[in-house]
Amino acid sequence: MAGRLVTLDGNTAVADVAYRLSEVIAIYPITPSSSMGELSDEWAAAHRKNLWGTVPNVTEMQSEAGAAGAVHGALQAGALATTFTASQGLLLMIPNMFKIAGELTPFCMHVSARTVATHALSIFGDQSDVMACRMTGFAMLASGSVQEAHDLAAVAHMATLKSRIPFLHFFDGFRTSHEVAKIMTLGDDDLAALIDEKPIYEHRARALTPDHPVLRGTAQNPDTFFQAREAGNLYYDACADIVRDAMDKIGERTGRKYKLFDYAGHPEADRVIVMMGSGGETAHETIDHLNARGEKLGLVKVRLFRPFSLADFVASLPKTVKSIAVLDRTKEPGAIGEPLYQDVVTAFVEASESGLWTGPVPRVTGGRYGLSSKEFTPAMVKAVYDDLKSDKPRRHFTVGIRDDVTHLSLPFDTTFDIEPDDVVRAVFWGLGADGTVGANKNSIKIIGEETERYAQGYFVYDSKKSGAITISYLRFGPRPIQSAYLVQRAGFIAVHQWSFLERYDVLEHAMVGTTLLLNAPLPPDQVWDALPKEVQETVLEKKIEIYTIDAVSVAKSVGMGGRINTLMQTCFFALAKIFPREEAIGYIKHAIEKTYKNKGPEVVKKNFAAVDAALDFMFQVPVPGRVTATRARPPIVSEKAPDFVQRVSAMMLANKGDLLPVSAFPVDGTWPVGTAKWEKRNIALDIPVWDEKICIQCNKCAMVCPHAAIRVKVYDQESLKDKPETFKSMPYKGNEFKGDAYTVQVAPEDCTGCTLCVEVCPAKDKANPRHKSLEMAPQAPLRAPERDNYGFFLDLPEAKRTRVALDVKGVQFFEPLFEYSGACSGCGETPYIKLATQLFGDRSIIANATGCSSIYGGNLPTTPYTTNKDGRGPAWANSLFEDNAEFGLGMRLAVDKHGEQARELLATFGTLVGDELCAAILAADMSDEAGVEAQRERIRLLKDKLAGSDDPRAKWLAGVADYLVKKSVWIVGGDGWAYDIGFGGVDHVIASGKDVNLLVLDTEVYSNTGGQQSKATPKGAAAKFAVSGKAAQKKDLGMLAMAYGNVYVARIAFGAKDVQTVKAFQEADSYPGPSLIIAYSHCIAHGYDMAQGLAQQKRAVETGYWPLYRFDPRRVAQGESPLKMDSNAPKGKLVDFSRNETRFRMVEQQDPTRFKELSDSAQADIHVRWATYENLAKAMTPAGAQQNPTKEH
């Protein structure tokens, strides 16, 4: 295909080149690079061919280390290989990168540069990951825009073939990888003309083959290693010329010219910035603006960072330069300066000495900017130049933040704005689930591809998975758009969710005359009065025109369900004045036809109707000349919130976290727990309402709630004295709390409206069984009274832990210490975590693998893990994705060591402490709540006694005394961790015999990165990298663990059998060795309404898709088989389960024959597996034992 003008994002632009120039692609998903691998897989599945007419082999590996190993092998065997990665993934590749470079192997990898986790993880962009690879011997080539990323991807492939130096081509994660822009692509003809095939033949000739064998990977010794390491120097010396040549060829062919160091700006500039990546585009745009106003500024965009060509670098600079600021998008704590800065300083020393630079050496300063996608704006660029102009420029600085601790930051003028008026700029506030982003991408495509205009889109997401907010920033202009930063002033602002007006400063980007489009659930004449005071004030001040549409109602009336995206997009087109309205509508309809033509005429018709309806039902809102609102935006958090939440969390919640200074933050990333409770998100349209008259007090609603937003309490009647008017209660029905009162209470502002509690509620009105004890009702009218009721409920006394029966019902009276997380509405994972915190939260340490559970567990602004009234609760940490089992084991080793020291010391303190107390502490039975409570009391006594002693060992003992109370170490993560990247660690840790509890939240797919297959993915399911349905069986992790014999293993599904779930958690905790719980977790990646999650879990268990069992090695001593099946033999057909989920049905829709084959085969597997378990249970029964091994007890 010839090159053409298209709109696409940076990842697509890069993958498009890499795919066509590769034969083997080995990848592993990691944000923000994942889509490059996914696209490659989709293209391969669609039989797209590479430049040489063959479909590349795309393989997903178990980790980035695996992907690097696989490409290394492919390269050794003579293939053209590539991979895509970022951040920790890139770090995992480093060992192979040294090898690949040391072996002078032509290879190009593409990296969407992302922050390396330090005090915190961040999925966003900076260059800390690529900078960590400087020593590997890879050439490093940087791109600053989508077009560049596309072109330089080709340069990198061309140059690696010729130079034999492997290339790391990188571009800023999110900013470039996810920015949608209009670019001219390189056609196959271009690539064919650019790629010299001679080096490919040479690469093949060097391949490992038995037909002319060689040996690589020798071990060398002091006599030879050094010289051999120097033997490849000439290749590095030649590399820069080769890259320059490749850039020149692209320039000749396309007119798009690049240099190793591209200079932009005034030919006689006195001040110059040197930098890499997307920030260079912003700097370029800014100096054009400033130079036009009389400044003499210059900019060097570094393309080829390694090998660093001294001659090219100094040649790129004007001789007039007096001062240089080098900007690094990374941080190297403890270094004299960041890497690029150090290179520039060194370059001038060398260039001066060698005569390459003849004038006076300019003053060089170094600054950090843009860490973790921190905005880098023209105002910041100007601040850097301004500082260079000052009498005493700062040698080292930061820009973009306010550093009030070390005072390194440059001040910048937030009102400085250079965006030209001929660029249309629009900002859209939407939900992650309302289609806003998709519609905007579509608008960019329409405008970018149907008109001469250039287009740019960038999308910002919040960190939640339910009710997530997206802000889309769109630009359309007559020239290529260089602005690599968010829109600062917008002529068009759309607010797709009415509730945002109350929570966010949505007019932050408004300018005089901005058009505001609202999706309001109100008639047009009521809209003005319903706006908060702040909004009305800004509207009047900036003369904003308001338009409104009740998009949800209109969408429903035209048969679009609640989908508002087409309507809102149409309104944008009608109002944005990019082209005449009729023409705009024509473009939309044309796009709809193109998108939906294969999906049936009725779908096209419906969308057309939506377009027409949008125009009919969009109205201008009359704006009176004065503020009429009496209501201001409510405070972000309650005034009762702790100081830190008021000062820090509230700012982040208001979308103003950028304004927080350095001093606001802990120095080591430590964050307080229990902050989620202060964020009242109000995202549920409907919430459950409790009818106490028919409740049977089973507590299942509380058990299944993913967000701890429906709770139960049993408490004394006395407490009801001052109850709010609408607070409900009923007499408790059981004997254990006879005479007490009972309440089921919803947290109206925390509920996400998933309906799982209603689905599970078994209590029906006998006269009208359609009515259940829990039913959904609109949240708005209930919000205020239920908020009061919930507040009252929380203040009610907790049931005494020692009095509660440890069954499904009883444990729900334990306070959840994991609440209101940002997990998806209806999440299938969080109920397990919540249960664990109810049972052992006050004595738990949690190691959490990176993934969904670390994101909803620890992604700021708020933290869902919390404490009880005694201040105890789970202590939680995330290390990495791959090391979580080891991380948790380390915690166990520490806890054990502390406990051991405490016991050792205690034994020597008999006199001071009292022999009786010592003995009681050492012999404490902590197998139940009463035992734990009694021991805590003993430790309190112990500490009191120790406090009076001046023996230094007493202080030491007091410091570790709390470890004499049993601690439960939980190692939590998803199947991507346990089955794939962390399996080695999981295996080692369960083999250690140590008392750790592994909880695998098995969604059978990489959920957090968007549904890539893992080894937990079942046969027959479609997932990314298994588009046509996975052919291999799911790995039987439980069976592998059982093989050790001394590991407690349970396979559970709370929606199918909560009794077994609760038992499994208790047994895992009590088992004095390693425990592994494999927990079925329904997930949005399965493709169905999560309200049906529990019903699907039941079907999964009934059909034998997910058999339940507990393998408890302790049973052997009792003469029983350790393995007990907890579900019945498979019944019914697997397809009764699988057809309900898109992941399976999608296979049928692609290829019914394959679906049948895979289904039949999976059905057969079910029976084999069941028989295997049954036989295993029998075979493991100790000789002479007389019982049915498969029967539940």
Partner 1 sequence: MDLRTRYLGLDLAHPFMPGASPLADDLDHVKRVEDAGASAIVLRSLFEEQITREKARTLEDIESQQNFAEANTFLPKPDEFHVGPVEYLEQIRKVKAAVKVPVIASLNGTTSEGWLSYAGLIQQAGADALELNVYHVATDPEETPDHVDSRIVNIVTELKKSIQLPVAVKLSPFHSAMAHLARRLERAGASGLVLFNRFYQPDIDPEALEAVPRLVLSDSHELLLRLRWLAVLSGGSPVSLACSGGVHTTLDAIKALMAGATVVQMVSALLHHGPFRIATVREEVGRWLEQHEYESLDQLRGSMNLARCPDPAAFERANYMRILQSWRD
- Where on the chain is the footprint of partner 1 (CB under 8 A)? 31-32, 34-35, 38, 41-42, 45-47, 123, 174, 432-438, 459, 461, 463, 465, 468, 470, 561, 565, 598-603, 764, 766, 769, 855, 1007-1011, 1022-1028, 1084-1085, 1087-1088, 1142-1143, 1145-1146, 1148-1153, 1155
In 604-751, the DSSP E strands lie at 619-621, 686-690, 710-715, 730-731, 741-746
Side-chain-facing half-sphere of 959: CA atoms under 13 Å:
8
Q: Output the CA–CA distances (angstroms, integers) from residue 886 to 881, 889, 891, 985, in the order listed.
A: 11, 5, 9, 6
Q: Whole-angstrom Cα distance, residue 621 to residue 495?
A: 14
Nearer to partner 1, 638 or 1028 (CB): 1028
> Are 715 and 741 in contact, with CB atoms under 8 Å apart?
yes
Nearer to partner 1, 700 or 1024 (CB): 1024
Which backbone phi and psi does 297 adopt, to 5 degrees? -120, 150
- CA-based diameter of the chain, in Å? 98
- DSSP lists the bridge partners of residue 772 as 764
Which residue, among 62, 105, 104, 64, has the nearest Cα to 81 in the 3D structure?
105
Side-chain-facing half-sphere of 1141: CA atoms under 13 Å:
29
> Are 393 and 363 in contact, with CB atoms under 8 Å apart?
yes
Nearer to partner 1, 585 or 1085 (CB): 1085
Q: Whole-angstrom Cα distance, residue 797 to residue 874?
A: 21
Q: Whole-angstrom Cα distance, residue 636 to residue 993?
A: 48
Q: Whole-angstrom Cα distance, residue 184 to residue 451?
A: 14
CB of 1092 to partner 1, least distance (A): 12
Q: Whole-angstrom Cα distance, residue 1060 to residue 513?
A: 63
**Residue type at position 894:** A
CB of 460 to partner 1, least distance (A): 8
CB of 69 to partner 1, least distance (A): 25
Which residue, among 461, 577, 458, has the nearest Cα to 517 in the 3D structure?
577
Which backbone phi and psi does 150 adopt, to 5 degrees? -70, -50
**Exposure of 537 by Cβ count < 10 A (0-12 exposed, 13-18 middle, 19+ buried)?**
middle
**Exposure of 945 by Cβ count < 10 A (0-12 exposed, 13-18 middle, 19+ buried)?**
middle
Q: Whole-angstrom Cα distance, residue 708 to residue 493?
A: 36
Nearer to partner 1, 103 or 129 (CB): 129
CB of 41 to partner 1, least distance (A): 8
CB of 788 to partner 1, least distance (A): 34
Active site residues: 31, 64, 114, 1008
CB of 49 to partner 1, least distance (A): 13
Nearer to partner 1, 257 or 1133 (CB): 1133
Nearer to partner 1, 50 or 160 (CB): 50
Instruction: Please provide the DSSP assignment of 1029-1084 as one string.
Output: ---SPPP-HHHHHHTTSSSEEEEE-TTT-HHHHHHHHHHHHHSSS-EEEEEE---G
CB of 902 to partner 1, least distance (A): 42
> Are 655 and 868 in contact, with CB atoms under 8 Å apart?
no
Q: Whole-angstrom Cα distance, residue 375 to residue 52?
A: 41
Which residue, among 689, 735, 687, has the nearest Cα to 714 in the 3D structure?
735
CB of 437 to partner 1, least distance (A): 4
**Residue type at position 1047:** V
